[in-house]
Amino acid sequence: MKKRGDLIRMAQRCALAVMVAALCYLLFGLIGTRCLFRQITGLPCLTCGMSRAWLCALRLDFAGAFCWHPLFWSVPLIALTLIFFGARRRWVRQGLIAFLILFLAVYAVRMAFLFPTDPPMTLEPDALFPRLLNRYF
């Protein structure tokens, strides 16, 4: 049987997971925050389309979510692993590196085949760098 302290820590971790999920929903679903990387460079980032994918997933449109970002399902998996196991375990660190490599590979494929015509992999002409380039060159 688990000790009382272990159960309390598990309950705290569950509460933290629920709060993080609620915060993500508020930030991306209701407020509509934008990607800072895209606002500066005009280029899509590694996770471009992730918030729209989760909005589709919350509406149970998983095909639409997969179209916006094929790795949308990995975010809660990574978050829950970090919450419940931490980053100190070797297998967690190896898994994070594997997911980073997977994200980079998906990004490279999306940039090669979708950029700059298909959303969300489009160029943002109103971003800072493109405006500066257009102004001075």
Compute mean pLDDT per 10 residues along the chain, 137 residues long, and list them: 75 85 69 70 89 91 94 92 88 94 95 88 86 87
Q: What is the pLDDT of residue 36?
A: 74
Q: What is the pLDDT of residue 32?
A: 53
Q: What is the pLDDT of residue 105?
A: 96
Q: What is the pLDDT of residue 98?
A: 96
Give the integer Cα–Cα distance in Å for 47 and 106: 10
pTM of the model: 0.71
CB of 129 closer than 8 Å to CB of 122: no
**φ, ψ for residue 135, nearest 5 deg:** -75, -40
Burial of 120 (0-12, 13-18, 19+ CB in 10 A): buried
CB of 107 closer than 8 Å to CB of 100: no
